[in-house]
Amino acid sequence: MREIIFGGTFDPIHKGHLLAAELALNSYNFNKVIFVPAGNPWMKSSNTVSAFHRLNMIKIAIDSNPAFFVSDVDIQRKGPTYMVDTLSDLNKKNSEDKPCILLGSDVLSDIKKWHRYKDLIQSSEFFVINRPGFNSAKSYMKNIKFNIIDGKFIEVSASEIREKIKQGSNLDLLVPEKVEDYIRKNKLYKY
């Protein structure tokens, strides 16, 4: 079973995340994408929506795709959320194959800030989406081996979605309809 881990805050999950996961599946013949929402995202501000709501939004967003799964391993862990610990908790360190990690070029640009990033680079294989508005992944890390996922991506960010919600704007084409319903029903992002 070939699988890829897609960690992030997912605050909220949006169609860009889902498209990236779908492109990873199809481009590199993965059978499974595991979405792993951060419990205590150490690189993000403390005003993220609760892990409970972020996990529920992911479950709603992926429920129709049998190749998409969610793990709450980072939510269950106390303290900051680090990918190196995520892999250990998911028992990926003892696997014969290197664990595969899906990330955007925006995240790749900060990888040297990650906890034990050298261990992560040596033990994992990265699959990178070139995000609009960020330099090509190739320009960030010349000494790290990674695979580029090509395709037409949706130019959207979670911060843009949160801002649209504050302004009362429509979220059509940005998040799945069921996720938008969940956000509105639970009055999320109304700071």
3-state secondary structure (DSSP) of residue 103: strand
Nearest alpha-carbon partner for 155 in 183, 133, 172, 177: 133
**pLDDT for residue 41 is more than 60:** yes
DSSP H helical segments within 10-153, as ranges? Answer: 15-28, 51-62, 73-76, 83-89, 105-108, 117-123
Residue 112 tokens, joined:
């040297």
State the CB neighbour count (10 A cutoff) for residue 66. 9
Average pLDDT over residues 90-114: 77
Angle between helices 177-185 and 51-62 (to 10 degrees): 150
Contact in structure between 127 and 146 (CB atoms under 8 Å): yes
Q: What is the pTM of this model?
A: 0.89
For position 36, what pLDDT does the model report? Answer: 96
For position 149, what pLDDT does the model report? Answer: 87
pLDDT single digits (tens) 1-16: 789 999 999 999 999 9
For the chain, domain boundaries: 3-155
pLDDT single digits (tens) 110-165: 788 888 888 888 888 999 887 665 555 455 555 677 888 887 777 788 999 999 99
pLDDT single digits (tens) 65-89: 999 999 999 999 888 888 888 988 8
Strands (E), the chain: 3-8, 32-37, 68-70, 100-104, 125-129, 146-149
Contact in structure between 81 and 38 (CB atoms under 8 Å): yes
Sign of the Cα pseudo-torsion (131, 137, 140, 146, in order): positive
For position 80, what pLDDT does the model report? Answer: 82
CATH superfamily of 3-155: HUPs (3.40.50.620)
For position 94, what pLDDT does the model report? Answer: 54
For position 187, what pLDDT does the model report? Answer: 93
**pLDDT for residue 91 is more than 60:** yes
Pairing of strands 146-149, 125-129: parallel
3-state secondary structure (DSSP) of residue 32: strand
**pLDDT for residue 166 is more than 60:** yes
Contact in structure between 85 and 77 (CB atoms under 8 Å): yes
